[in-house]
Each structure stands twice: as structure tokens, then as C-alpha cells.
Amino acid sequence: MAQPAWQDPAPLGIGTAPVPEYGSGSLADLLPTLVAGQGVAGFTPAIAELTPADRNCVFLIDGLGWEQIRSHPDEAPFLHSLLHTSRGGTGRPITAGFPATTATSLASVGTGLPPGEHGLPGYTVRNPETGALMNQLRWRPWSEPKVWQPYPTVFTLADAAGVRTAQVSAPAFEQTPLTKVALSGGSFLGRLTGEDRMDVAAERLAAGDRSLVYTYYSEVDGMGHRFGVDSDAWRGQLMHVDGLARRLAEQLPPRSALYITADHGMIDIPFDEQSRIDFDEDWELRAGVALLGGEGRARHVYAVPGAQADVLAVWREVLGEQFWVASRDEAVAAGWFGPRVDERVLGRIGDVVAAAHDDVVITASDNEPHESAMVGMHGSMTPVEQLVPLLEVRS
Ligand SMILES: [Zn+2]
């Protein structure tokens, strides 16, 4: 029934947010399922329908969501052919996890844990020890990695159990704290080009009777942020990465399974004041806010002490038709960060969490000039951001 014109529409209920499928179909479930199939003790297969393989390879394409592959059969003929069933494998979407952002998702992949446990619940989050914002992707300012994320990675546990384990990525990532907490264990092989990474990944896969190899490509995401999903530059990258995936698939050694996935999808945000709400210029949204964390489509809002309830009320009033706006307790109880949130992680989550439902973002033109100028964005729980491919090729 239509709302009478004089009555404001109700804010989006927390319960209407499509929570990621933690425990059965999220990025955090992938590696545990694969190594359980390789006989590594302590893991159970969480994702049904995946047939165990002795050699498992995960190719993570940054920013390439399920919907983007589906809508670009011409640029990505190989990946598109894997969406349903082909080459003896299956394709399906899984959910990234919340927020749908690189640091959070890579940690979910590598630790096999949801964000509430691995503790990287956003692009930037407050460090409760210092009270300052910390950028999780760049690890700035620095914080002891082992304290921030104390769990061993699945790679480390699989390697200790005799699975030949390797990560093949950009050389620059070898020593970063994010790699240490999320993607370490076994050997790291730095290669500059995508082609080299594919070739080395296939070699490493063949190097053990049981092996687990992770490889990564970043530039689809980069072009989407800069020029937009569907821009010529983005399409060019999609064509390139489609060729990379095919190159790796064609080199799979026997008894292998290749899984092509992503850390999140992406959505273009129009350049107008209705779509880009500038926090730094909005006195109403800023009232009582000590720190603004997260990113445009998934904000952690840290209130000054005593102002939590007021900030929640105002944010819900101003943004509640376009964003799911939750208190920390509501977001945790709804399972946005997973079934459990560790004590050390609670204070990293905003007093208020705002996740975009519509094609809108909360920018911060003074504090985040670079991020605020991006065309393509991601972070929230909408299908285009949240659904990532799990495409399978078997040899
Ligand atoms: Zn990105």
C-alpha cells in the first residue's frame, strides 16, 4: 500500500538487511572446506557441493562481483561460461562478508573466520587501544599484527599438516602486515605480471601431492574505482583477467580444482548531492561524532562519550530510508559481522553502523579526498557488492 504523502516512510528495518551467509556460503568458508577435503585435521567442509581435490588453487580477482561477470559475457567469455555448469565443475555465488571491502575479505579468506573473529571489520576502524582510526588495508598507523589478528591462517595450518602451500601475488605485498595476518603460511612468491602469477601458481600446484595455492589480481578493482564499472578501462581489465583465468585453467595439473572468486563486487555512484552525502559539510550528521570510519557505503560512526543514542537517532532519521542504520549491539546481534564477535573486536565496530541500501555514499571531502572522488564503490550488503563468484574448474 502506498504511503500517504504527508507521512514519512519508515526507516529500513535492521532485519531487512541480507546478512552474509557465514558458515555455509561465505568467503570465510572457502579455505576450511578445501583443506577439510585434503584431510587437514580440525576443519569441516562448510560449503556443500564442493568435491574434494588433492590440489586446490584459489584465484581471487579484486572487485569482480558475480553480477559483473553475469552482465559481461562478451568481455569475459571464459568466466561467463563457468557461471553455471561446465568443464566438470560448478559455478555459484557466495557472499563476501560485511563490510564488502578488500582488507576484511582477504582476512576472511585467509583465516577462514568471519570479520567478528579475525577482527578486520572495515576499511578504517577505531583502535580501542589508541582511540585513533586505523586503515586496515595500509595498516596505518601501525599496530602489532599478531595482537590485532591472533589466529593462525588456514595456509599456516595446512602447511603444518603437510599440504604444499603458496601465495603468488605482487612482490610488494610480501612483507605487509595484511599479508602477515591474512595470507601467510608456506611460501610467498612475488611476480609482477598476471601471466607470471598464473604460470607460477600452476607450477606450485603441481609441486606437491597435496597442495594449496592462492593467487591474486588487483586491477579490475582499480579501474572500477577510478573510471567506473563498465568504463572502457574497466572492460579492458575484465578482458585481460578473463584471459588470465583461462591461462591458469589450461595449465592445471592432474587431480586439481581451481576456484575463481573475488573479495567484493562494485557499484557506480552518480556525482550529485543526493547520491554523495558529504559528512564533512553536514552539521547534522557530524553532531556528537568523534570519528568517522569505514568507507562510503559501510560507515563505522564513533560517538563522543554519552552521545551514542543521539547519533543513532539522527543518523536513522536523516539516512534511514537509504541506509540500514544500526547500533553496534543491533549490528552484532543481527550477525552482520558473523555469528560471534570477539571481545577484542567489539570496540573496533562503530557505535553506529550505516550500510547503504540505495546507490548512495557518505563521503568525507576533507578527510578522505581520494576515496570521496571515486566513481565505483563497495562495502555494503546489496547483492551487487556482496555476491562474489565461486567458479570451479577441475582437471
Ligand atoms: Zn576496492
Backbone phi and psi for residue 362, each to the nearest 5 degrees, phi listed first: -105, 105
d(CA 34, CA 157): 13
For the chain, what is the HEC assignment? Answer: CCCCCCCCCCCCCHHHCCCCCCCCCEHHHHHHHHHHHCCCCCCCCCCCCCCCCCEEEEEEECCCCHHHHHCCCCCCHHHHHCCCEECCEEEEEEECCCCCCHHHHHHHHHHCCCHHHHCCCCCEEECCCCCCEEECCCCECCCCHHHHCCCCCHHHHHHHCCCEEEEEECHHHCCCHHHHHHCCCCEEEECCCHHHHHHHHHHHHHCCCCEEEEEEECHHHHHHHHHCCCCHHHHHHHHHHHHHHHHHHHCCCCCEEEEEEECCCCEECCCCCCCEEEHHHCHHHHCCEEEEEEECCEEEEEECCCCHHHHHHHHHHHHCCCEEEEEHHHHHHCCCCCCCCCHHHHCCCCCEEEEECCCCEEECCCCCHHHHCCCEECCCCCHHHHEEEEEEEEC
> 53: CA distance to ligand 1 center in Å?
31
The position carrying cell 562503530 is: 350
> 62: CA distance to ligand 1 center in Å?
7
Residue 88 has what pLDDT?
53
> 268: CA distance to ligand 1 center in Å?
12
Residue 1 has what pLDDT?
46
The position carrying cell 580477482 is: 61
> 221: CA distance to ligand 1 center in Å?
5
Q: Please choose, from the candidates 49, 31, 51, 86, the residue with its C-alpha nearest in 3D space to the C-alpha of residue 256.
A: 51
> 171: CA distance to ligand 1 center in Å?
19
The position carrying cell 546489496 is: 382
> 129: CA distance to ligand 1 center in Å?
27
How distant is the alpha carbon of residue 275 from its chain centre?
23
Q: Which three cell numbers stand for residue 213?
A: 595455492
d(CA 73, CA 390): 17
Q: 302-327: per-residue pLDDT in tens? A: 999 999 999 999 999 999 999 999 99
Pairing of strands 289-295, 298-303: antiparallel
HSE (side-chain half, CA atoms, 13 Å) at 260: 31
Are 107 and 120 in contact by the 8 Å Cβ rule? The answer is: yes
> 224: CA distance to ligand 1 center in Å?
8
> 265: CA distance to ligand 1 center in Å?
8
> 186: CA distance to ligand 1 center in Å?
27
> 178: CA distance to ligand 1 center in Å?
15
* Residue 184: partners with Cβ closer than 8 Å, 6 or more residues away: 110, 153, 155, 156, 167
> 377: CA distance to ligand 1 center in Å?
7
Residue type at 175 in one-letter notation: Q
Residue numbers of the chain with a pLDDT score lower than 70: 1-9, 85-89
d(CA 146, CA 17): 32
d(CA 263, CA 222): 13
Q: 133-158: per-residue pLDDT in tens? A: 999 999 999 999 999 999 999 999 99
Residue 7 has what pLDDT?
57
Pairing of strands 276-278, 289-295: unpaired
Residue 265 has what pLDDT?
98
Residue 10 has what pLDDT?
79
